[in-house]
Structure 1
Amino acid sequence: MTDTHDIALEGGGHEFRVRVYPAAEPSGALLVWLHGGAFMFGTLEMPEADQVGRRLTAHGISVVSVDYTLAPLDALEQLGPPDPDADVPSPEQLRAEIEAAGPRARFPVAGLQTVAAFDWAVANASAYGADPERVSLGGASAGANLSAGAAMRLRDRGTTMPKVLALVYPSLHDGILPPNAETTELLREVPAARLFTPESRAAINRNYLPDGHDPDGYAFPGGHDLAGLPEVLIVNAELDSLRPSGEAFAAELAAASVDVRVVRQHGAMHGYLNEIGHPAAERTLTLLRDAVAMR
């Protein structure tokens, strides 16, 4: 069992914390990781956060999991009822869960906290047997969005950059991108409650960034200048209405001369890292391990 400890930090005018998963036999690599949750919910205890930390430490990678400040709950009711066959809390359960999370705030707070967490990880990497030049950054879903936005900020700041940017089933554009014919057919078989719609995605995004003003791409990097970003790993869920965003972002990165690897997890729906033992989760953990451990 990995021994963890929490560190209190400040970013964006709010206090937040990170949970450190130190590798018992460090390989020199470290990953700063962010869970998802439509910017509004999610905890350090959810598998999407905790499983990543515990599994990667077994391979010598220390993990810093970020408990960023969540956005307000204004869009929660617009997301619709959850799939009864999925292990997803009801809106009432979610509200109760995160009302204990303390103050909430909209963009840019969580993104600034992501930068602060990355800076802390670089400054303290050696204490965990890691090389400050081998600190990677990544996340799942909204956490992937926050990671990509933070990488844009770090690039523009002109200082230390992540070794690798790892994005799992990300949403990187402001809105749902239209699927191609193949994806449209695949999504017909997915329960409606497991899909984001243009309406639900718009509610989430306007809850996070009300006026949609994003000239630098710090809120939604897709469609902006991506030149100068580090190597990127994108892992998409095949049965996910957000997959077109991940695929389009991969093409944008390639056009900007950024090294990118994009992988599709066949048969997987959005959020599969929250399902312990899911085949796509196991494959993705291996992809994360190999990408972050790279020298």
Structure 2
Amino acid sequence: MSVAVGDRVLPGPHGDLRVRVYEPAADVERVAGLVWAHGGAFIRGSLDMLEADWVARSLADAGVVVVSVDYQLAPASDPAGPWSGPDGQPPGVRFPVASEEVSFAHGWAQDAGLGVGPERWSLGGASAGGNLASGASLRLRDAGGTPPRSIVLAYPVAHFELPAPSAELFEKMTPDWRSPGSLASMNANYLGHDGPPTSPYAFPGGQDLRGLPPTFVLNSDHDGLRASGEAYAAELAAAGVDVLLVREDGTEHGHLNHPETPGAVRSIARISTWLTVDALVGTPHEAPHDRPETEAAAR
């Protein structure tokens, strides 16, 4: 028997929201759930890309029900004018649309009757999807209710500005990552304006991270964004959050799109183990004394 796959259209917070549900074969125990957001620099990617489909199928084989989120994308950036289209109105959406869609999908999955209890659902994503998942974790923390069991982040965009890399990482980075402004255009395009974000949920790096669920951060070895993943893991630990940080040796950014490589196979095994073996995952600890401003006020 094989994984069952089906698309559903949800009444999302910003119109119809398509998700793809991956359910383990009938003879496989459903031990956990994961709401997953693919990457793509906020402007591209789909449920069919390997970082979405292969990851979900592989985890479903291990007993994880996966809800892959087809969140709305930001406009395709143009170096000559990244925030405007020919008619002055760029196609696509800006923050907080995709972030709120991922938060909504997690709440839907908890109550969808997919054979996994609400407390067994984790939330995760890769690259830009890692940003959406980590930002959603802050929003869900502040909203109360049943929190995600854990957060799974693969080579995430956690910071608005790329933290300074270590000397070891700097030597491995390609030249385009070595500029402090390497993420500036992508992140400004996602926000729709220059300058830092005004909401704590846009880029979780540097925010109040107390009380978040246990978090697994999986970085690619030869990847400038590793500086963000490593810094975010350190911030989580400093905030009292249980965190597991792994660097997948010999891999490039986006390595989950390459299932033929040993690094991708190892990474799937790591994620599967994190989601299905309770002994690896800690518990949420101290909650913030002062909640960040509400999303409505922070937009």
State whether TM-score is above 0.5: yes
Counterpart-to-counterpart distance in 2, 1:227 and 1:128: 30
Matched with 1:206 is 188
- Which of 274, 277, 294 is 2:257 aligned to? 274
- 1:63-142 matched pairs, under 5 angstroms: 63-75=66-78, 104-124=92-112, 127-142=113-128
Counterpart-to-counterpart distance in 1, 2:251 and 2:207: 28
Matched with 1:84 is none
Assess, with a 3 A threshold, how the Cα gap between structure 1 residues 196 and 135 changes in structure 2: closer, same or farther.
farther
Q: Secondary structure at the match of 2:234?
A: helix
Counterpart-to-counterpart distance in 2, 1:14 and 1:229: 28
Counterpart-to-counterpart distance in 1, 2:273 and 2:71: 26
Counterpart-to-counterpart distance in 1, 2:218 and 2:263: 10
Gaps of 5+ in 1: 80-102
How far off its partner does 1:122 sit? 0.2
Counterpart-to-counterpart distance in 2, 1:230 and 1:220: 17
Q: What letter corresponds to residue 161 of structure 2 in structure 1?
A: G
Residues 139-159 of structure 1: per-residue CA shift (max 9 Å, x gap) = 100001100000000000011
How far off its partner does 1:215 sit? 4.3
Counterpart-to-counterpart distance in 2, 1:152 and 1:168: 17
Q: Which has the higher contact order (CA 8 A, sep 6+)?
A: 1
Q: Secondary structure at the match of 2:183?
A: helix
Count of aligned positions: 266
Matched with 2:53 is 50
Matched with 2:86 is none
Q: What letter corresponds to residue 45 of structure 2 in structure 1?
A: G
Q: What letter corresponds to residue 213 of structure 2 in structure 1?
A: P
Higher mean C-alpha displacement, 248-257 vs 22-31:
22-31
How far off its partner does 1:45 sit? 0.5
- Which of 174, 178, 186 is 2:164 aligned to? 178
Counterpart-to-counterpart distance in 1, 2:199 and 2:97: 15
How far off its partner does 1:119 sit? 0.6
Q: What letter corresponds to residue 172 of structure 1 in structure 2?
A: A
The structure richer in helix per residue is 1
- Root-mean-square deviation (CA), in Å? 1.9
Maintained 8 Å contact 2:163/2:227: yes
- Which of 217, 227, 247 is 1:264 aligned to? 247
Gaps of 5+ in 2: 83-90, 279-299
Matched with 2:209 is 226
Q: What letter corresponds to residue 97 of structure 2 in structure 1?
A: V
**Identity of counterpart residues, as a percentage?**
47
- Give the TM-score of the pair, scaled to structure 2: 0.84
Matched with 1:98 is none
Maintained 8 Å contact 1:12/1:108: no
Assess, with a 3 A threshold, how the Cα gap between structure 1 residues 148 and 77 changes in structure 2: closer, same or farther.
farther
Counterpart-to-counterpart distance in 2, 1:177 and 1:111: 22
How far off its partner does 1:179 sit? 1.1
